[in-house]
Each structure stands twice: as C-alpha cells, then as structure tokens.
Amino acid sequence: MRLDPRTKLYMVFVVSLIVMMSATTPFLWAIRLSITLIPIILMILEKKYSSALKFLLAYASALVLTFYFLSEQSEGLIASLLIGYCGIVVQFMPAIITAWYVVRTTKIGEFMSCMQKMHVPDGIAVSLAVVMRFFPTIKEEYSSINDAMRMRGVMLGGGNVLRMFEFRMIPLLFSCVNIGEELSAAAITRGLGGENKRSSLIELKLGLADYLLMAFLTASTVIFVVYKYLL
Amino acid sequence: MENKSKKLKAKDFITVGIFAAILFAVEFAFGMLGYIHPYIVASYVIILPLASGIPMMLFYTKVEKFGMITILSILLAIIMFIGGMGYLGAPLIIGAGVIADLIAKSGQYKSFKKIVISFGIFNLWICANYFPILVTAESYRQDLIDGGFSAEYANNLFAAINVKTIGILVVLCFVFGCIGAVIGKAVVKKHFEKAGIV
C-alpha cells in the first residue's frame, strides 16, 4: 500500500501534537496507543517486520514497566534510571516511530513533489529533504568511524572524554562535508535551483486509504483535545 | 565560491540541511542523558553549546549570504516539534536564528567577533526548549508524572528550571555559546584549515 506523502506528513504532525499533550486517563491512553499502533501497522504493511517488532517490543515493555512496577514514589538509582528510560520511551516513542516510518518509506522524489504541491518555499523543502536523507548517512558514517578506530586499537579515546568526542566528531564532519559536496553536485546536475518550475515523475494523488487515515487522525486529535481540556 | 549573488542557491540549502542533521544528531546524543537526571536537562545550556561549537564554526565558514542561519533555525524548530518538544518554543528558536543571522551579517560573515556573538545568540534556541516548562509549569508537572516520570524527577526538574533560574540559564547559554565558538574555531583551524577543507 502506498500512502501519499501528504498523509504521512499529516500523521507526523498529529502524532507530535498528541505526544505533546500527555495522556491522563485510561481513555486518553487508549487514543495514544491507537495512534502509536498506526505507524507500526503501516510498517508491517510495508514489509518492515523486524523494525515493527523492535518498536512494538520496546514500547510495550516500557509501558508495562511504567504501569506495573514504577510509581510516583519510586526512588533509588536503578529505579530512577528505569524511570528515565521508560519516561523517554513512553513519552517520545510514538513520535520517533512515526518519524522513522516516514523517513524510511518516503522517497526523496515523492517528498519534493509533495512539498512543491503544498507550495513550501524551495529553500525549506530542499534543506528538509537533505536532513531526511542525511540521518541514515550519519549513522552509517559513524559506525564506519567506530570500526576504523577499533581496527587501529583506539578504544574510547583512552578514557579522555574530550578526545573521545574529538576522535568521532572530526572524521564525521569531514565525511559529511564531502558527502555534502557530492550531493550538491548531483542535485545541481539534475536541475535543482534552476529558474524554471521543476516537473516531477511521480504523480501524487490522494487515495481512499489517505482520506480514511486523515479522517481517523483528525478525529482522534479532536477527541483527545476535547476530553483532556474541555471535559 | 566567488559567486557574490545575494540569493541563496541549491548548494547553500544542501549545506544547511547537512548541518541541521549533524546538529540534531549531537543534540539527540546528549539529549538522551537528560533522562538520567533532571539537572542534566538544565546543564544542556553548558553541554550543548560546547559540543555543537565545532560543527557550527565549520558551518559559519560556509555561510556567505543572509538566510542560511535563519533556515537552520527553522529546520531546528521543525525537528524539535516532530521530536515532541511542542510548538511553544518554535517562534523563539526562529527568533534567535534571525537575530544571530543579522549579527553575523553585520560582520559580513567574516568578522570572528561578530560570529562569536552570533553563535551565543543562536544557542538561545536551547533555552527556547525550556519555554513550555516555564509557561505551563503546573500542567507540565502533572503531565510528566502522568506520563510515567516519578514525582522526584519532576520536583528536581522544577527546582532546576523555573522562572527564577531561567535568567541565569539564558546568560550561561550565551556565555558558553561564546566559549564554544572559540573552542570550535580552534578545532576547525587545527583540523580543517590544515587539510584545506575550508
């Protein structure tokens, strides 16, 4: 199933909104959970089983821990670390899952054409597309740097925090800058930044699934806000 | 590079995008630490400017036209919103970006003094993320506790970040921004200028 990028962006927006307003009653939790499940189900539909399972397990375990083992009164080191972990997972995981889903399943071409349709200024659209494309690259480069250091026998920079940071940051910046140069060369060859309006190979059309999902997301947001603030 | 046109080109946008991604990666790596103890959340004003000094100084060497720092702040605001930080801080983040851009512009993006001040101002985006904690203090506290944090965490967080301390945090943020800029510049000089990258 292919969703329109506009629907995906709307989903990111809605999930971020709901993540921001925290759930206080079981009913609100139910809405939050269903909102979190949507990207996971979509991942399964896109055949990304392992990531779907990973996210599901992480989120479920954090939920169980939070509600059955930790309470407002929990104190002590292990408890506070756990609270920290569960807090971040429970609070922000939905947004992370959604963002991950969107980044992984949206082609840059689709994204650009969608931005053009929504009349987003070129500058913001191009920069955002680069950001989207760049997160996986940073991760990749970072792990190659780690590999290279391990090969040379450099572990953690000899315990010196500053050097630890420097040894990773500088090569990362070097490769990012180089990749950036190549990226701009490639983009300019393809006519990015020209005077004319660009056309796109990908025709964007909202399908039935898009309308249904958008309606569902809107409805959940409205219900969430009404129940949280007005009742 | 000798192109003196004032309009931003595709290449500039790509540069901005790359540095926004790097900046966010740095922010994210250190941001995770905040869940260990709320005091670390408050100390972001010290950690983040120092850590992001290096990539940002490299970024400043690539800035030649007005708008790049502004767009960077807009991207940060969007990413922060998606990351669940809320929309309250967004205008402040962008505001800090525009002012930083104007200051750097007044030095033609070359004057190091102006760049240091500009980076100090730019760092106020970190404080902008505290904004929701201040404005919606009571409900935010309740939200944290309902959201799975312990009362202890919430109390410590509000002990560290409240209306009284925010002034100090803003000043610290600016000061460490300037220090971060100086350190970052030194590192960029040590590694990148020698290698001929900038």
Per-residue pLDDT band at B148 (split at 50, 70, 90): low
Question: Is pLDDT at B2 greater than 60 in this prediction?
Answer: no
Q: What is the pLDDT of residue B1?
A: 41
Q: Do B15 and A180 touch (CB under 8 A)?
A: yes
Q: Which of B46, B70, B177, B72 is nearest to B116 (CA)?
A: B177
- The residue that leads in pLDDT, A40 or B81, is A40
Q: Mark whether A13 and A74 lie in a shared domain.
A: yes
Q: Mark whether A128 and A217 lie in a shared domain.
A: no
Nearest CA distance, B110 vs chain A (angstrom): 20
Compute the distance between CA of residue A201 and CA of residue A217 in angstroms, rounded to an integer.
29
Q: Mark whether A101 and A132 lie in a shared domain.
A: no
Q: What is the pLDDT of residue B140?
A: 74
Report how many domains make up chain A.
2
Tell whether A113 is covered by a domain: no
Q: Mark whether A69 and A154 lie in a shared domain.
A: no
Query: Chain B partners of A100 at a C-beta cutoff of 8 Å?
Result: none
Question: Is pLDDT at B35 greater than 80 in this prediction?
Answer: no
Q: Which residues of chain A have pLDDT under 70?
A: 1, 22-23, 69-77, 79-80, 84, 155-159, 193
Q: How many CA atoms lie within 13 A of A17 on its CB side?
A: 16
Q: Mark whether A153 and A219 lie in a shared domain.
A: no
* Residue A17 in tokens: 């909104």
Q: Mark whether A65 and A37 lie in a shared domain.
A: yes
Q: What is the pLDDT of residue A71?
A: 59
Q: Mark whether A207 and A102 lie in a shared domain.
A: yes
- The residue that leads in pLDDT, B17 or B141, is B17
Give the domain range for residue A99.
1-107+203-231
Q: What is the pLDDT of residue B98?
A: 92
Tell whether A49 is covered by a domain: yes
Q: Which A-chain residues 110-169 have CB contacts (< 8 A) with chain B?
A: 122-124, 126-131, 134-135, 138, 165-166, 169
Q: Mark whether A98 and A165 lie in a shared domain.
A: no
Q: Which residue of chain A is at minimal alpha-carbon distance from B73? A: A124
Q: What is the distance, to the nearest Å, from the Cα of residue B39 to the centroid of all Cα atoms in its chain?
A: 18
Tell whether A142 is covered by a domain: yes
Q: Mark whether A90 and A150 lie in a shared domain.
A: no
* Candidates B78, B136, B149, partner chain A, best to mutate (most A CBs within 10 A): B149
Instruction: Report whether B131 contacts B162 (CB < 8 A).
Output: no
Q: Mark whether A47 and A96 lie in a shared domain.
A: yes
Q: Mark whether A70 and A147 lie in a shared domain.
A: no
Provide the percentage of residues in chain B whose pLDDT is more than 70. Answer: 88
Nearest to A86 among B25, B84, B148 (CB): B148
Lowest mean pLDDT, pick from B117-121, B151-155, B163-167: B151-155
Tell whether A116 is covered by a domain: no
Q: Mark whether A188 and A207 lie in a shared domain.
A: no
Compute the distance between CA of residue B54 and CA of residue B56 in angstroms, rounded to an integer.
5
DSSP secondary structure, A36-94, as one string: HHHHHHHHHHTT-HHHHHHHHHHHHHHHHIIIII--TT--SHHHHHHHHHHHHHHHHHH
Q: Do B78 and A128 touch (CB under 8 A)?
A: yes
Q: Which of A14, A44, A46, A9 is nearest to A31 (CA)?
A: A14
The helix/strand/coil state of B85 is coil
Q: Which A-chain residues 186-205 have CB contacts (< 8 A) with chain B?
A: 187-188, 192-193
DSSP secondary structure, A108-157, as one string: HHHHHHHHHHTT--HHHHHHHHHHHHHHHHHHHHHHHHHHHHHHTT--GG
